[in-house]
Structure formats: structure tokens, C-alpha cells
Structure 1
């Protein structure tokens, strides 16, 4: 089955679509962006996958893939995914959450080499 971005946004509060659209708009400023809707999430990639979006009823869990562990109150979960990858879950509940710090983390993830 093919999944679309709309599949992930239907039956959600309007803020979820607002956060998603703003996030994608900001990420497109980095350069080429691959958006791959899957069954449970939307994968974001450049050359490699650098982030994932998990929509919930009234917020988004954003997973950012970095080669080091972030230490921040904003990170609700860290998973050591492989030898040189950490997946960080950050809860986005409003447009204010898409701030300079978050975009710096995403830019770093976007630019990572394998």
C-alpha cells in the first residue's frame, strides 16, 4: 500500500498540519529533501535518512538522527541506533517549537555523511 502525507495528517488537530507544513518549509531551505511517507511515519532524507515525523492527535514526535547524543530537556528519548547514529525524539506541540536550536540540529543531521 502507498501512503501519503495526507494519510498522516487526517483525523489530527489542525496544529499538527501547521507544524508539519512549517517544518517542511524550513527543511526545504537546506536543499534537496526526500519526503517518504511510510505506514507509521514520514521519513525525511537527503542522501541518507536524517529525520522522521510521527504524527499524533495533537502533536508531532520528530526523530532527529545525529552521530552524537544530544543533551537537552527537549529530547524525550534517545536511541543508540547503530555504531555512529543516535535517534533523538523531540515533541513538537506548537510552531514555537520550530526554533533556531531545532533547525540547527536538523541542519546538522541533514548534512551528515554516512
Structure 2
């Protein structure tokens, strides 16, 4: 997006952040409307600049704060996350773990797993296992849509068992 803004407007993201700050507009929608009407931005670019100017995008928040916010009020689920990460990191040293606002992506060459504290009592683990048959436990992707092909609901650390680790490893291996 930053490269696109520079190409589209001839000015870098820092310039547009300063324009927003100089406008003294603070609300997201008002900033988006301002950039669209006064500077001819498309909605996507206006939204991006507004998030950056207000430092409310995931990229402006450190990983530990993102994780803390994901598990706020769901702290009892964090050991499940930690167990998943421990297992995933054993697959190889070519894995990038990327916390976002509401989930954590595990990427090799492509994303192979997505860990999301979905409710106060459950983590949803999304997996990329194209062509793998569904089971009672290995469900369709549900709310993950096309980001994943399957979902497993995890309520306790014990749910991170041999079967689940095998699915994770398969997803990892298919992502090379």
C-alpha cells in the first residue's frame, strides 16, 4: 500500500500522515472522507492512511502488545496458543510467526496455519490442507473463508494432541 500511494500520488506515506495531522481531524471515518474528497484518494488508500496516521493498524503495534490484546479476558487460552507455537516451531527454522490484531499467521512460503482466539472459551486453528477430507473434528474453514481450508476448535491444551500435530505438520509440508 505504501508503494502504491507513492506511485499514485507522487508523495510518500509520511507526507500524507502529516497532511492528516495538520488537518486536526481525529475520527477514522472523517479522515477517510477528507482524503477522498479533498485529495482524490480511493477508499482503500484513504483507509490505509487513516489507520497509519492514527497508529491503529496492526503494523504500528508491537507483537507482544498484539498478543496481549488478543488474549485480554481470554488469558486461560494462552497456554493453548503457546503449545501450538511450541509444536509448530519444531517443524523447521523456516517459519515466520506473524501476530495480527485478532490472530497469528504461521507462514513458510505460504500461510499454513492461523491461530485465533475465537471466543472466551475457544481457539480456532485454521489449516491449509487442500484436498483433505473433513471429519467431525477437522471441519470446513468456517469463518476463515479462503484463508484456510479447514478449522479445528480447541478448548484445552489437551486438544493439541498427536492427531492435531500431524495435521499441522501436513499443512506445514504442503506450504513449501
State the TM-score, normalizing by the size of structure 1.
Answer: 0.83
Q: Does 1:105 align with 2:167?
A: yes
If you compute each CA radius of gyration, which structure gives the higher value, 1 or 2?
2
Q: How does 1:1-114 map to 2 (within 5 A)?
A: 1=57, 2=61, 4-14=66-76, 16-32=77-93, 33-55=95-117, 56-78=119-141, 81=146, 87-113=149-175
Greater fraction helix? 2
Give CA deviations for 1:26-65 in whole Å, capped at 9, x if unaligned: 1110012211111231111112100101102121000011
Distance 1:57 1:100, change over 3 A: same
CA RMSD of aligned residues (A): 2.1
Which runs of 5 or more residues in structure 2 are unaligned?
1-56
Other-structure match for 2:13 = none
Give CA deviations for 1:53-81 in whole Å, capped at 9, x if unaligned: 11021210000111213321102333673
Greater fraction strand? 1
State the TM-score, normalizing by the size of structure 2.
Answer: 0.56
Which runs of 5 or more residues in structure 1 are unaligned?
none
Q: What is the rounded CA distance, in whole Å, between the counterparts of 2:70 and 2:149 in structure 1?
A: 21
- Equivalenced residue count is 110
Q: Structure with the greater relative contact order (CA < 8 A, sep ≥ 6): 1 or 2?
A: 1
Deviation of 1:13 (Å): 4.2
Q: What is the rounded CA distance, in whole Å, between the counterparts of 1:86 and 1:12 in structure 2?
A: 23
